Amino acid sequence: KYGYYHCKACNIRWESAYVWCVQGTNKVYFRQFCRTCQKSYNPYRVEDITCQSCKQTRCTCPVKMRHVDPKRPHRQDLCGRCKGKRLSCDSTFSFKYII
């Protein structure tokens, strides 16, 4: 899923395409850490990762236009799921393989 975050301590906002939820719900499994103050947060809003062309989660468009950048590196040091682990989310289970 795709999440929107807000750190109340230092007023920084960020977005992430690595939000892990209970299947079929928006209940978040893992928090993410603020890059400035290192406090952990759940997203204040979660949505499905959708194609910008057809607005579907699983689409058949020849060119998939997502509202995420697959070339942007995953910050393992700020991710509650893979922090301190050898393999990161993007090398094990990524939205690229789920969709």
Tally of CA atoms within 13 A in the half-sphere of 79 that contains its CB: 21
Q: Which residues of 36-75 are buried (b: 16+ CB within 10 A; e: fewer)?
A: eeeeebebeebeebbbeeeeeeebeeeeeebebeeeeebb
User: At residue 68, does pLDDT exceed 80?
Assistant: no
Between 96 and 89, the more confident residue is: 89
Please report which confidence band the pLDDT of residue 58 belongs to, taking 50, 70 and 90 as the band edges: confident
Q: Which amino acid is at 4?
A: Y
What SS3 class is residue 32? Answer: strand
Please report which confidence band the pLDDT of residue 49 belongs to, taking 50, 70 and 90 as the band edges: confident
Per domain, the residue ranges of the chain are 1-83
**Residue 89 per-residue DSSP state:** H
